Structure 1
Amino acid sequence: MRGRGLLIGVTVVLVGLAAGAAYVTRDTSPPLENIPSLKVSEALGSKASAAEGYTRALEPRDFHFPEDHGPHPGFHTEWWYWTGNLSTADGHEFGYQFTLFRSALAPGEPERASAWGTRRIYMGHLALSDITGGRFHATERFSREAMELAGARTAPLRVWLEDWSAEALGGGALPLRLTARSGNVSLSLELEAGKPPVLQGERGLSQKGPEKGNASYYYSLTRMPTRGQVTVDGRAYEVTGQSWMDREWGSSALGQEVVGWDWFALQLSDGGELMYYQLRRHDGTVDTFSTGTLVPAQGEPVHLSREDVRLEVAETWTSPHSGVVYPARWKLAVPSRGLTLDITPALADQELPVSVRYWEGAVRLSGTHAGQPVQGRGYVELTGYGDMPPRGR
């Protein structure tokens, strides 16, 4: 999923072709309440026939790095996704999200040889949470692949959308530099690999629904040392911290009963990480394909099923912009691993008022792991809450 199933990216991109690029921030006009937004349930409503002609995620495969950091053009959709928690030497805290999506309009290459001809389009999301300053900024843009306006290459890795880019600093894929600027916000960050890639699901095959091929290939880099600069309103901040990278590609949507999801990417102070996503159904129940991975400080990752994880919403927050009610505090437990966490947003208002409105933001956590106190930071993504109210799990 981005937990990442932003398979909503497919529909969002198409909407973007009609709507054009958009920049929104908490401090600019027009009012955020006036920005139209698709429902996630509508965006997820594509049928299996939409995957015809594309490569599909049908069974586990061997992953090869650095090649798999690059594009997989035979699939309908893929994305490169980063989040991170950063701070300055004097304690000014930030969170960021930077995502580049590629989506195909049709299989194969265009028949007409034209510099403008393309069957692939790109969408980007940039969000910066100025946690100490109490402000949130979000940007969305779109472009076609033609004329080098956007694209992705493998060796060396480069993914770009106009002047937004993720680019290898050497001949492979990592370390890499993220660069993005829009309005009064920009970032330039260098990310190292950190831990080895974690294959999510069954050896990297992440099943999202009951149908064969209703899946994606999904891996994560869960703790990437990060340094660089963020700029807000003309002031530059030198920052360091940790990032999380998700890579996912596939050709099918989620199950038809799924209305949205809650996705958690958590970095613990004991050196471990936890990824968990919970798919929510229209009737308010949790889908059986919800899953996660616990990554110890040392040793092999541990797969988690829906039954292994207990997730409870402890508080909610109502967006003053959209009126949507989101979870705003969680109790998460993995009893078999002795893990209990209290998770709270670092900033309440981290709602992205983009083509598909959702909440994604930096969080703080505390609790116990294997009998020892633990703290940490992370990111949470919440989609579909415009369609149904949150409830305890």
Structure 2
Amino acid sequence: MVELIFAAQNQHMRKLLLVTAAFMAVFNADAQITLQENFNYVAGSELTGNGWTQIGTSVVNPIAVSNTGLSFPGYPLSGEGLAVSLNSTGQDIYKDGTASISTGSVYCSFILNVGAAQASGDYFFALLPTTSSTNFTGRVFVKQNGSNISIGVAKSTEAVAYSPVLYNLNTSYLVIVRYDFNTGGGADDQIALHVLNASAPAMEPVPVAVTAGTAGDAASIGRVALRQGSAPSGATVTVDGIRMAGTWNDAVILALDLISFEARPTAQGIVLNWLTANEKDNMGFEVEKSLDGTHFTNIGFVAAKGSQEAAYSFTDESNERGYRYYRLKQLDFDGSFSYSRTLKVTADQADNLVFSNPVYGAMAVSYNAGAEAVANIRVTDAQGRTVLSAVQHITHGQNHFTLDMTRLPSGTYQLHLISDKTSTSRTFIRN
């Protein structure tokens, strides 16, 4: 924000230029969660009366809310609300998310407990575009395999890719379906399947099954369907805690409502701020940092406030240059834990000069000055030519201002801050 203030005193105009800015990389942890269903409705009520839409005309065995829900260790929706039971034949329904995803990947997770299955197998859950109630693009199958069951996935009508691992009846698993939008053609998108029997890891593991990807692609995914199949092939299953998102973390990791998680470079270090809601059994947060995005170390602990809504802050005062990665490890009193998404931050520091790098438009600059001064600011290109210049009044202490880089072509530049008190130069990249 740039604000110009003009004041008159003793018939002379005094022009004061106040330039205030703050660089804030805000990452809303719920921004990519497009659907969440924990069946928190009255037991026995039909889902078509609770935001779901019927597919076709059959009302046999209407899908209704069960008396109890399912649980799974570390899953965000575990133990929240109730569940639904699907029979081997009957009504099919769907529900729309808040948005469709058409690039990258879609992750959809849910808790599954299979009571009975048929040898031929059938699908009971599907991903769809919001433009169709019949284009079951991502299908999840279950079939009998001896005294156990097999779980598989298929893209539309192509052959089912079953996991080689056998699973138990009457046991709760966390199922994650990943739809990958590929760009090679009209029939190359693939679907991957994860079936977990323990808490979801922070990093996505190798899937247990992947489709061939030969059937037609979906333009987007924004809807989920519950299907009761046909009597000779359908299974009896219980489903709970459906969540659809654009990342692995958003789909399976967060154990509380992390309203926002942000990182802001300052002269004192990288300031992390986060907001939470609906905390339950939360002991606190370990703040973890990595310099390569893979190997994280604990750099501090922030105790939970235990309130309905809470704000937290932590400052990393280290002075590493280049990229840094931060995440929160949320700890429960029972020893369980979950991770937030990872923030990637860059803050190049030299002589108390901090700015966002690379630069995409406006450069947010922080400068901690030891004395008041008038600074000449120059930006030079790779050939040493001055491409931008400005004069900035610097006060003692922390200063914030912005520089408009939108007219600069992509490339490598030098930022120079020169006054009678100091001279500082730093390289940055304009993307």
Task: Give the TM-score taking structure 1 as reference length.
Answer: 0.26
User: Larger helix proportion, structure 1 or 2?
Assistant: 1
Structure with max Cα Rg: 2
Q: Relative contact order (C-alpha < 8 Å, sep 6+): which is higher?
A: 1
